[in-house]
Structure 1
Amino acid sequence: MQIEPIAIAKLVSSETNVRRVDREHGIEALAQSIAAHGLMSNLTVRKMKGGRYEVIAGHRRFLALTRLVEAGTLAKDATVPCMVRAASDNATEISLAENTLRADMHIVDAVTAYASLIEQGMSVEAIAQRFGQAATTVQRSLKLAALSPRLLDELRTNAMTVAQAKALAVSDDHAAQESAWFEAHDWQRQPHQIRNKLTRDYETGGSYLARYVGIEAYEAAGGHVARDLFADDDAALLLDRALLTRLAEAKLVQDGEAIRAHGWKWVESRIETPDIYRMGRLTKVETLSDERTAELKRLYEAYERRESEVLEQGGEDAVADDRPLGELGNRIEAIESDRFGYDPAEMAHAGCVVTLDYRGELQVHAGLVLKEDEPALKALQGERIGDPSSEAIPAATPGTVAGGYSAALIEDLTAERTAALRVELADNPSVALVAIVHPLLMQLFYRSDYGALRIDSAVEVRGEHQALSRGDDAVSQTKAWRDWSLQLEQWHNGVVPADPGEVWPWLIEQDEATLLKALAVGVAANLNGVSSKYNASPTRLENTDQIAHALGLDMATFFVPDERFLKRLNKAQIVEAMTEANARPDAIAAATKGKKAEAVKIAAGELLGSGWVPEPIRRVRDEDGDALPAAVTDAMADTD
């Protein structure tokens, strides 16, 4: 065996090379590295007839050299060092030995080597080019290299996974990194839990506040933005939540003033929606002129004629693709959107609350009447406010609640939300601990002079499983209910002893983490966030919202606005839901024009995957001045 310089043009691939899968993976990067650093390891070859040599080991290096020749970076007659083996040597064995016995570099060694090159004055772009890597790959390596030395030691000894290290790298604060790792239990070290804890004081670029203000406006105001380089979408992290909140409030005031200019007496702009359901409401009246009403009638007639023609010629599938029909629908929708409005004279005695929805879009609650404005409006209307016969501010009808949903539907929706809360709470012992301590303190220290509880808690401490479903009702068909039932079954049949007499010794043997998980399941089973017609304690439901907030519950991951749900709404509510979910205008127009059964089918398709949920179970957000205890805010970092 000897090392000889051999021209690349004389080398050929060998069929005996054992590497078969992904033989060309990373070849371009390897070629760039060879161009920058030279060939670091020789090839192993055997001499063939005709003065050629077959490459029996180093096939990827040979392919990279070939690419460099094709690109003109190397000359065809350029030579490379090759170890020449005897023709009698076993080529398969040699190839296998080279591929089997080599060891990949540990990731800590690799990323710290990149950092060393930076310290020596090399730029990220230069490193990327010389090693055939994307600049973001180099930046991610440098981010890992910048972890706390204690954490790098954990990664080096495989006490930490690479995914966990990536989550810790979201923060540049070594103390915060170490706290998130060393002060957490093993079951609190999932990457998403670590990332949530380190970013709990920030706003993501996809939050409703960031969407409303805009990252550019936030940065223009002096706000700093960090990037989670390991997130799939290179997620932006807005570091100054207080500034973002002030910008949102200021923008809301501006938007509110623009709305007030339409003739309202007052406008209140705030991020969180206040209790508007105790206020009176104006009723919209038809505002179209005779000319516009006639035009709308002609458009509807034209739409029906065109629809009949298209159905006759091409069937239902052709309707959706018919451009003239779509244009007619758009014109109808444009007029319909202005069809109903408020009486300008009544607007002078009413106002609006301007806030944000869960997508960061402006939400206007218009036509609200304050108590002190009722006498003037009464005089204007010539009838008593709140009289069921009044068309201006109708009284609530029996069996209906906020938003026009029936009491039965509210009960089912909040039962579904309670099931989702139980699923999340059972997986979060820290919040469960807070949730069980709350009612204990309420009963111990906060009773009235007559011994009655002054504040109800969502977790009802009775050591029982509060039923949510009657077995055949709508709640039992929901994802949240199924997930909760499965979770209970797994504990009942796979964790706790079958014999109740064995439970105590079993509990004594368990570690703290298992006991906390068992506590979480028990607390979850006692959670009651259902708002029913005869049991809707305001303080209990408020505590339910607090628990939902601590868990970061997003009902969009559980709730499905399917036909089963939509059939329980009236057509106006269906169209409103589609509008809130930014459904296609032509779909909204079709649902508006069609019968309820058609509207249900159209809406089900439009709302699927939109993230829309009914208002009674929408996500609870922070409320200024109503800070949660530190234990809860810590626990919030442990949930999705």
Structure 2
Amino acid sequence: MQVWEAVKNSWNKEPYAIRRMLTETSVRASDRRAVFVGVDAYEAAGGVVLRDLFQGDDGGWLEDPALLDRLVAEKLQAEAEALSSEGWKWIEVATDLPYGYSHGLRRLAGDPAPMTDEERASHAALLSEYRALEDEYSGQDEYPEEIDARLGQLEMAMEALEQRPLIYDPAEVARAGVFVTLDRDGSLAVYRGYIRPEDELREETAVQDGDGADDMGQGDDVGVSSLKPSETSVGGTVITSGGQPIGADASEDEDDGALKPLPERLVMELTAHRTLALREAIGRSPDVALTLLLLKLVTDTFRTSSASGSCLEASVRHVYMSAQAPDLKDSVVAKLVDERHAVWEADLPLGDDAVLWDYLTVLDQGSRLALLAQCLSFGINALHEKVNPYGAGISASGLTRRMAHADLVARAVDLDMVEAGWEPTVDGYLNRVPKARILEAVREAKGEGTAQLLDHLKKGEMAAEAERLLKGSGWLPEVLRRADLAAGDCEPIGEGQGVDAGEPDDVDLPAFLTASLPDSAASMMAEE
């Protein structure tokens, strides 16, 4: 009834718009949380599923997100309690782990568990059948469909046996922990064997600091904090329920139409996107990475004044992005960074410094430069941060210099945030800025004529229409644009392409104007 009251006198009666209004507070059945819990379990707990009678709905929409989140938390908690029998010191549970969740932690090196006699026999039988089928059909151009399917089943069965669980040193397990979360497809993801800095052996710290163990206390009691109310202890294992930070809700702006600065939190999230994109670009640009490193080293060596504010932390210190949008870890550049890092990590002998030294000395020059670029990319810091006038953190001049430095690097690697996968969406940008900013974006991308067609809408409707109009346009907010291009090396979006406020020849009409109008009326509006 609420939706009917909202749309009965509106131009926008398109099915997709009505469906969006009906389901804006619901969760799709294909959502990874719903897949993890299962729709049957959700309904058994009293949850309601909304279905579409007129077209396919991929399982429908779950109407009670709070119930779903509670079921997810309870199931993850149960999985964590089951893992506590392995003897871990802590288990952190989170529906969604942020990018860089293991920052600052040491990963344990485990040994693959040997196969049992039964598993070896099963593997041998599978391999024998696989080779027999290959030999039998080796003379044919293509395998028969049923034989090809059987070979695929045998490969999967053998791979499941070959992927062995890792066995860790029990002494280190007692100091290490586990992350329990949901994978992208809704399956359970368990990441074992991470040691926090405060849980490293006290003897090692004492030797480095030159202090005796007696000065700080003995045993594992040192550095163990008391449990918080949100934590659970099972069999000596501390299980922590991690959650996502809650940002301020975007509300309807009662502004006077003037352009105001972007919200600082939004600028921080946008520059986190840019920082990750720069990392990916530096990682595939060894020559630029070497120039960047030399620039930092020469500055440190030959300048007598403080040179703070560089966009490169040349230590290299992995810069953690504390302010980030939820979709950052699933972005195109995040996957590229992780894939490249995994390839190097698989090749490098990380267990012994002498072996690693020998490995590095025999690398060819191209591989050495590529490895340098990969390591250096993790020091990129093009993040906007809050300025602290009292000296703690970055100064205003340091932040200005960092951003100017980042622009130099972006120009050198020819960074394009559109190609890096960023788009102005309702959740990621448009609903986070005033209406004047939304209209400015549409005006720059589509012209004054199209912007004027949106200026009477409420903010939520305006943001949704703007997302549709801006999709594929290549429009970027100022903070994501290259400084050299924004300075006039290219024309602003929309200019020089026949876009004029008085003559909107190619206006892309919003959906609410074209949905219910006859074709002749829509054409007349476009002509006018």
Larger radius of gyration: 1
Normalised by the length of structure 2, the TM-score is 0.40
Q: Which has the higher contact order (CA 8 A, sep 6+)?
A: 2
Q: Hey, which of these two has a bigger chunk of helix by percent?
A: 1
